[in-house]
Each structure stands twice: as structure tokens, then as C-alpha cells.
């Protein structure tokens, strides 16, 4: 399978199966999970960066356990919309997932998702240590919810 647009992903998804959202952070990969109707994203887990094969094997088990039919990977574009090193890395990561797992994978513009989540956690008065523990999976939730909202408008 190859990368596809979110519109194309919408067209190939079977009903009543979950999507996962991924925030490919530099130290931790955040994972979020949708409900079966693909309306609400919830934080699932943060996985420490490791060899891609090990990560993909772990993700494959997670996907089977939760009946996941597709993946949305956050694409950290620059503020002007250009593709920098982080976005290139996320795109390659998404392409590798699509090839390895054989499920539809789409990219979603995640500019400022981590910053928005960080602001919310600071306002909630979470300690720096606690923020570090949850930020990646909450950023993945923010990414996935944005994609779910977009897909729900498509009908």
C-alpha cells in the first residue's frame, strides 16, 4: 500500500473500524485511537523511538487488537507550508508504515499541534515531567481528531 490523501483514505475505509493517529516525535511516537464510528479520538500510548521493524511489529499487534483499518500520520510542515527535514522524516516514516503494514496511510498537516497541546497542559498546571510523559500521545490525539472532523464533513 502507498500513501494517499485523506480524501482517498475516506473512500477506501470499511465501516465500523478504527483509525489510529500517529505523532512521530523525535524521542517518542504518540499513538491515538478512534472509536469504531470514527468520531472521537482518544490517547492510546507513547512508544519510545526504536528500530523501525520493532516499532512496526508492535504497532501491527496494536492494530489487530483494536480492529484498525487505517493510519493518519502527522505531517509537521513549516509555518509557510513548506516541507522541512521533520516533514520529510514523517513522510518517509508514513511511507514505510504503508509498505510494511499494508493498510491505507494518510498524512495530516499538524502544524502547531504539539504547541496547542503543550499550552493546554500548562494551563492545566501539569508539571514539566508529567507533560513530557503525555504530550506525544495527546498530540497524536489532536492530529487524529482533526482528521476525523475533516472526514465527518465529507459524509
Structure confidence at residue 119 (pLDDT): 78
Task: List per-residue pLDDT tens for the chain, 155 residues long.
Answer: 789 999 999 999 999 999 999 999 888 999 999 999 999 999 999 999 999 999 999 999 999 999 999 999 999 998 888 999 999 999 999 999 999 999 999 999 987 667 777 777 677 777 877 767 677 898 999 999 999 999 999 76
Structure confidence at residue 127 (pLDDT): 81
Q: How many CB atoms lie within 10 A of CB 79?
A: 7
> Per CATH, is 16-71+112-155 categorized as 3.55.50.30?
no
Structure confidence at residue 123 (pLDDT): 79
Q: Using alpha carbons, list the distances in angstroms from residue 72 to 18, 104, 107, 120, 127.
A: 11, 9, 6, 22, 29
Hey, what's the torsion of the CAs at 82, 106, 120, 134, to 10 degrees? -120
Q: What is the pTM of this model?
A: 0.90
Structure confidence at residue 125 (pLDDT): 76
Q: How many CB atoms lie within 10 A of CB 130?
A: 12
Q: What are the domain boundaries of the chain?
A: 16-71+112-155
20/149 Cα distance (integer angstroms): 14
Structure confidence at residue 54 (pLDDT): 96
Amino acid at each position: 500500500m502507498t500513501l494517499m490523501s485523506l480524501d482517498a483514505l475516506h473512500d477506501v475505509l470499511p465501516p465500523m473500524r478504527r483509525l489510529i493517529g500517529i505523532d512521530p516525535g523525535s524521542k517518542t511516537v504518540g499513538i491515538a485511537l478512534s472509536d469504531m464510528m470514527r468520531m472521537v479520538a482518544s490517547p492510546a500510548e507513547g512508544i519510545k523511538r526504536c528500530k523501525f521493524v520493532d516499532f512496526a511489529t508492535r504497532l501491527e499487534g496494536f492494530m489487530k487488537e483494536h480492529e484498525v483499518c487505517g493510519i493518519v500520520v502527522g505531517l509537521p510542515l513549516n509555518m509557510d507550508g513548506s516541507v522541512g527535514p521533520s516533514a520529510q522524516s514523517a513522510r518517509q516514516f508514513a511511507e514505510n508504515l504503508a509498505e510494511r503494514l499494508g493498510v491505507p496511510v494518510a498524512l495530516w498537516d499538524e502544524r502547531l499541534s504539539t504547541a496547542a497541546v503543550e499550552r493546554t497542559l500548562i494551563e492545566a498546571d501539569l508539571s514539566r515531567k508529567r507533560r513530557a510523559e503525555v504530550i506525544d500521545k495527546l498530540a497524536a490525539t489532536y492530529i487524529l481528531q482533526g482528521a476525523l472532523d475533516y472526514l465527518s464533513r465529507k459524509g
